Amino acid sequence: MKYKAFIGIGSNLGAPAENCEKAIRLLSASPGIEVVARSSLYESEPVGNIDQNWFVNTTVAIQTSLGPEALLEAVLEIEKAFGREQREKWGPRIIDLDLLAYEDRVLHSEALTLPHPEMTKRRFVLLPLSEFAGDYLHPIENKTIHSLLKELPENPQVRKISSTS
């Protein structure tokens, strides 16, 4: 059986746009994962620790035969392939992949919370996600991505830097 999930991707070290593109290619090459939609690339002001480079962000929709925990493991393996180390919260990173939502599943385990607990507060997630999943109904907020996006302030800034091809 195939399930739909959304993944957020971000980078602000090295070549951030190239890092995001490579992460999408690695997701596509992962067993049990098929990327079925992707957003444009966005540049976003850092949250929290602001003394760092702006981020490049994008989101993808995938079809997967993996369960949520196995999908999280696959995502963490891609981060490891980049040499990502867990350091400070909101700090600079070569790559960051977040499992945002898995169907309409609500899950609270030691390893994973679904939907991602911060996604409704992040313009750099909702704006790219709105390109292909604007009508997705958040299973806890009971609001669409479009509605959640309208409720957010304009800052921190997020601006489109390239469109999908």
Q: How many Cα neighbours within 13 Å face the side chain of 1? A: 4
What is the C-alpha to C-alpha distance for residues 162 and 12, in angstroms, rounded to an integer? 16
**Marked catalytic residue, from 38, 96, 122, 123:** 96
- Length of the chain, please? 165
Q: With the C-alpha atoms ordered 56, 61, 63, 64, is the resulting torsion angle positive or negative?
A: positive
Does residue 123 have an active-site annotation? no
Q: Is 98 a catalytic residue?
A: yes
Please tell me which residue in 38, 93, 122, 123 is annotated as part of the active site: 93
113-114/55-64 β-pairing: unpaired
Q: Which residues pair with 121 in a beta bridge?
A: none
Question: Which of 98, 104, 122, 159 is flagged as catalytic?
Answer: 98
In three-state secondary structure terms, 23 is helix
**From the candidates 84, 87, 122, 123, which is the catalytic residue?**
84
Question: Using CA atoms, how far apart are residues 8 and 145, in angstroms rounded to an integer?
Answer: 14
Told to judge if 25 belongs to the known catalytic residues of this protein, a careful annotator would answer: no
Percentages helix, strand, coil for the chain (3-state, rounded to 5) are 30, 30, 40
As annotated, the active-site residues are 84, 93, 96, 98
